[in-house]
Structure 1
Amino acid sequence: MQKPKKFDRNLIVIGAGAAGLVTAYISAAVKAKVTLIESGKMGGDCLNTGCVPSKALIMCARLAHGARRSSNFGVILPEPSIDFPRVMQHVRDSIKAIEPNDSVERYTELGVEVLKGTAALVDPWTVKIVHSSGSEKNLTARAIVLAAGAEPIVPPFPGLDRVSYLTSDTLWERLSQLQAPPQRLTLLGGGAIGCELAQALARLGSEITLVERARVILPELDREVSAAVTVALEAEGVTLLTGHEAVEFEGGSDQKGGVLVLRNAEGRVKIEFDEVILALGRRAKTTGMGLEKLQLLENGKLKLDDCLRTRYPHILAAGDMAGPYQFTHMASYQAWYAAVNGLFGDIKKFAVDYSLVPSAVFVDPEVASVGLSEGKAREQGIDYEITRYNIGDLDRAIVDGAARGFVKVLTARGKDKILGVSIVGENAAELISEFILAMKYGLGLNKILSTIHIYPTMSEANKFVAGNWKRAHAPAAVLRLLAVFNRWRRK
């Protein structure tokens, strides 16, 4: 494998999802000659099968739920009628409206060469491109960024081939074919995708059963957060089967639907369904790109250093291919490191900072978190304190009919240094940004407390939790002296 004496490109990016698009954008902005290769749709999973369609569906479901609750505000409406084809049209329209931001035309204007086709590494510096037309082309590059994304995990359940199962990739096409939401829908997997889809489709009229092998849904989050989402889903009619493990599938009658066989502590349970969605996580796409040939994989996964580099320092990865966090915002964040380390890593390299990775689950009430959860703090032996604020006491939440949830902050013992935050409530994913900024720049709860927050807003919850911390840490000796002083001043 002889290194070329000169290169066709400064950078080649494989994959035009969030990570690939941002990597190409940054590279073009610093005047590098960059080629972006995509075999499918521009925008990747987020635009076409992930964030955008799911949030569009959630919005439709939220409106239906709001109509049912309108009598609480003195607005009497009939039970909403769900025009499901129009719901799905809104999903498609949302994708179409955002598509230009990720289009070939836009990135071409930005100075990126965009090629449609498959890509594979021939050697550490050469990428073979098979165009959609069938023609082939080899390009060399000083650096290569792998950003091909991820795909749904589909375990080899016995009998799975006898049912027409869906994944987050295939769900949207199937829903677009229906005149009404599936009557009986089973979701396998109680993570973010499963919980969001369960609530949205329940609000649109489906009878939902959500199955999770762990004892709780959203097991990676704070236990209080998981409990709050459990209460919300069950209140809306979602049947939660936690502590249940999928065993096998059986075909349904008349070739419709099917039966899912589960195992729990008591024995076996069977669930009939019209549609079943596998929401069991996603794994990096690593096949068909020549990664095995260059020994870039370890146990089927890319082995990367702290700078997102493989065993060949000029071959890097970003986004879902890199992990460990499969969030669109993480893909965009890693893209900066991939672009800069790819173009300039031989001069100066930068290690990715994973100390502040926020996440959100767009259920209602919304949940968001950053930093340490209580469970993780205990596991790491960190001495911490907990401060809470009940959003049910917040004026804006009360008038909006959103008086539920909490802000929970972990701080270092005796200090206002923020170690982690979990929020359950209206617009939690927006509220947490103030804490992310504070943690990023070392600002404690005292700084948040001394910052003016507009009244009445949900963001006041952040100030009030800081106020609760301050009251709990009021200097008792100083207050006693002040009491004596003020008593003297009254004489």
Structure 2
Amino acid sequence: MAVDYDIVILGGSAIARYAAWQAARLQARVALVEPEDVTLLESHPLYAMRQAVWMQWAAQQSPNPQQLFQQLLSDSPTAEPCDIAQGLEWATNVVDVYAEWRSPARLTAAGVDLIIGQGEFCRRPAWGVMAHGRLLRARAYLLAPPSTMSTRVMRTLDNLDTVDFWTPDSFWMYPPTQLPQRMVMVGGTVRGIEMAQTLARLGVEITLVCDRPTLMPELDTDLNAGLQTLLEATGVSVWTNTHLKSLSAPKPTDPIHLTLAHPSLPPQSLSTDGLVIDAPLEPLLTPLNLEAVDLDPNALTVNDRLQTANPRIYALAPTPNAGDLTVYADLAIHNALFPWTRSLRSVAPLRVLYCDPPLVALGLTEAEAQQRYGNDVVTLVQPFTSLPAAHIRSDLTGVCKLVLRRNGRLLGAHVLGDGSLEMASAIALLIQNHGSIQHLLTLPLPDLSFATVLKQAAYMWQHQQNAHGLRRDLLEGWFEWVRSWTR
């Protein structure tokens, strides 16, 4: 019996809607199954909130950090100071504008069969997905379910159920009427780091506790150090390699007392007015009945084509920012719909941190490159202090680090600073096409853009190549010969 769809997407996340939209644009017949009352965590207005905070903070239009949103919300310069709920309302309205493209109405108009209800795999009456009383059969299936905080991490924290705490999502969905004066964040995921800096800009004494030696082990070592320095300069107290040993609060209205453990220090006591638990996200796979298709929901893995152990089922991991997964969603949709497939090796690994200034990491880190290519690796580090744009904005914070082979092939780029998000496209094209750093020399760039840091790094590479060896001797000989024949 012929199947009804080209692909069935078990969704509940923003990336699932993106994947459905892309598949429909390819003229495929698509079914998107979403649970009832789904909350798209990726659409929370965190980025808009951070932008609003940054604009007011940079302009210094308010002497009190608690009044940062005042002029964003009112045309009157004498308006009453606003609270965080008003700021979130403004940011939510902004997000709703650009989130309209993935609304159910737009998806339905594009030809997506949107089915509301919990979907699960079944073997009978036929192999497929059962949702809302319907059997959905397709050539391929994509898992992009909603996500929740890791329960394994939550269970390791003793007495957590005896105190009131927020998660990053609950804090923005149900904000306090008044910001706590002191807050502690335990975890240190990407969204937690971004949230900590935003709270610091709002005048909160925020302490970030991370049990890892560095904030983001997947980042280059130099960028990790730069990120921690940036956060501390913003007002975030960063405690790395530190574990939460115990916590208690005699009464709900009392401060929360924490005991922190560090391998080389005695136990530290800390009191806080607010606690944020920032555990990693996990996909909600249990309701999908993966056992019916011989998949283990507790140990789901994918290959380099995003296929699970069942070759007809593809999967995407959860993330707090759907934009970080769009390239993988495109890859999964392509492989699910067409016989000619692509692998993850064709995609430059991308890591983005929407802090202020933003951080972008593409390709291999220095350590990963050395592990793969040994001594055939060169690094170039170019600070933003030489950029005219940085001096014009009176903000010299920023660094660009390029990782390449000795023949000039670009392996990775790691940028912390303004303009890093815009540089990512050019860098990704070079890395994915095995381009050389010499291509940056011919890249047309406005003089007053932050992207000129790429060209400056390329000039540094060219100078190093010309400063020694056979190349230098050839250049000197060439110019000497030309001068001798010029009359």
Q: Report the TM-score when normalising by structure 1.
A: 0.87
In the TM superposition, 1:64-463 aligns within 5 A as: 64-68=56-60, 78-80=63-65, 81-82=67-68, 83=82, 84-123=84-123, 125-130=127-132, 136-154=133-151, 155=153, 156=155, 157-175=157-175, 178-265=176-263, 266-297=265-296, 300-320=298-318, 328-344=322-338, 347-353=339-345, 355-382=347-374, 383-413=376-406, 415-463=407-455
User: Is residue 208–residue 237 contact of structure 2 (8 Å, CA) maintained in 1?
Assistant: yes
Counterparts in 2 of 1:235 and 1:252: CA distance versus 1, 3 Å: farther
Shift of 1:205: 1.4
> For residue 372 of structure 2, what is the amino acid of its counterpart?
Q
d(CA) in 2 for partners of 1:233 and 1:54?
A: 17
User: Is residue 164–residue 257 contact of structure 1 (8 Å, CA) maintained in 2?
Assistant: no
d(CA) in 2 for partners of 1:113 and 1:42?
A: 17
> For residue 128 of structure 1, what is the amino acid of its counterpart?
M
Counterparts in 2 of 1:348 and 1:363: CA distance versus 1, 3 Å: closer
Q: More deviation in 244-253 or 35-44?
A: 35-44
Counterparts in 2 of 1:410 and 1:351: CA distance versus 1, 3 Å: closer
Q: Over residues 389-422 of structure 1, what are the superposed CA-to-partner deviations in whole Å (9 max), with x where a residue is unaligned?
A: 2211111111111212221111112x21101111
Aligned residues: 461
d(CA) in 2 for partners of 1:330 and 1:199?
A: 20
Q: More deviation in 282-291 or 203-212?
A: 282-291
SS of 1:431's equivalent?
helix
Q: Over residues 155-196 of structure 1, what are the superposed CA-to-partner deviations in whole Å (9 max), with x where a residue is unaligned?
A: 211101012222233221222xx2332221111123322221
Q: Over residues 334-387 of structure 1, what are the superposed CA-to-partner deviations in whole Å (9 max), with x where a residue is unaligned?
A: 22333333334xx44443336511222122232111111112223335321111
Structure 2 equivalent of residue 133 of structure 1: none
Which of the numbers 33, 36, 49 marks the counterpart of 1:37? 33
Q: Over residues 64-120 of structure 1, what are the superposed CA-to-partner deviations in whole Å (9 max), with x where a residue is unaligned?
A: 32134x8xxxxxx64452422321112221232233211110000000111222111
d(CA) in 1 for partners of 2:56 and 2:323?
A: 29
User: Is residue 148–residue 283 contact of structure 2 (8 Å, CA) maintained in 1?
Assistant: yes
User: Is residue 6–residue 29 contact of structure 2 (8 Å, CA) maintained in 1?
Assistant: yes
Shift of 1:257: 4.9
Counterparts in 2 of 1:91 and 1:416: CA distance versus 1, 3 Å: same
User: Is residue 286–residue 301 contact of structure 1 (8 Å, CA) maintained in 2?
Assistant: no
> For residue 400 of structure 1, what is the amino acid of its counterpart?
R
d(CA) in 2 for partners of 1:252 and 1:449?
A: 64
d(CA) in 2 for partners of 1:335 and 1:236?
A: 35
Shift of 1:19: 3.2
Counterparts in 2 of 1:143 and 1:125: CA distance versus 1, 3 Å: farther
Structure 2 equivalent of residue 73 of structure 1: none
Shift of 1:263: 0.9
What's the % identity of the aligned pairs? 23
Shift of 1:482: 4.1
d(CA) in 1 for partners of 2:228 and 2:13?
A: 32
Q: Over residues 218-241 of structure 1, what are the superposed CA-to-partner deviations in whole Å (9 max), with x where a residue is unaligned?
A: 222111111112112112221111
Does 2:3 correspond to 1:11? no
Q: Which runs of 5+ in 2 are unaligned?
A: 69-81
SS of 2:291's equivalent?
coil
Does 2:54 correspond to 1:62? yes
Structure 2 equivalent of residue 74 of structure 1: none
User: Is residue 164–residue 252 contact of structure 2 (8 Å, CA) maintained in 1?
Assistant: no
Counterparts in 2 of 1:217 and 1:26: CA distance versus 1, 3 Å: closer
Shift of 1:438: 1.3
Structure 1 equivalent of residue 462 of structure 2: 470
> For residue 127 of structure 1, what is the amino acid of its counterpart?
V
Counterparts in 2 of 1:432 and 1:7: CA distance versus 1, 3 Å: closer
Shift of 1:201: 0.6
User: Is residue 248–residue 256 contact of structure 2 (8 Å, CA) maintained in 1?
Assistant: yes
Counterparts in 2 of 1:364 and 1:15: CA distance versus 1, 3 Å: same
d(CA) in 2 for partners of 1:476 and 1:371?
A: 31
User: Is residue 408–residue 438 contact of structure 2 (8 Å, CA) maintained in 1?
Assistant: yes
Shift of 1:456: 1.5
> For residue 85 of structure 1, what is the amino acid of its counterpart?
A
d(CA) in 2 for partners of 1:44 and 1:351?
A: 28
d(CA) in 2 for partners of 1:480 and 1:350?
A: 47
User: Is residue 385–residue 411 contact of structure 1 (8 Å, CA) maintained in 2?
Assistant: yes
> For residue 358 of structure 2, what is the amino acid of its counterpart?
E
Q: Over residues 7-52 of structure 1, what are the superposed CA-to-partner deviations in whole Å (9 max), with x where a residue is unaligned?
A: 343322110434322332233234333211111567832113xxxx
Q: More deviation in 219-228 or 264-273?
A: 264-273
Counterparts in 2 of 1:112 and 1:467: CA distance versus 1, 3 Å: same
Counterparts in 2 of 1:36 and 1:283: CA distance versus 1, 3 Å: same
User: Is residue 284–residue 301 contact of structure 1 (8 Å, CA) maintained in 2?
Assistant: no
SS of 2:425's equivalent?
helix
User: Is residue 402–residue 425 contact of structure 1 (8 Å, CA) maintained in 2?
Assistant: no
SS of 2:449's equivalent?
coil
Shift of 1:319: 4.1
User: Is residue 359–residue 369 contact of structure 1 (8 Å, CA) maintained in 2?
Assistant: yes
Q: More deviation in 273-282 or 255-264?
A: 255-264
Q: Report the TM-score when normalising by structure 2.
A: 0.87
Q: Which runs of 5+ in 1 are unaligned?
A: 71-76, 131-135
User: Is residue 413–residue 427 contact of structure 2 (8 Å, CA) maintained in 1?
Assistant: yes
User: Is residue 191–residue 320 contact of structure 2 (8 Å, CA) maintained in 1?
Assistant: no
Counterparts in 2 of 1:472 and 1:149: CA distance versus 1, 3 Å: farther
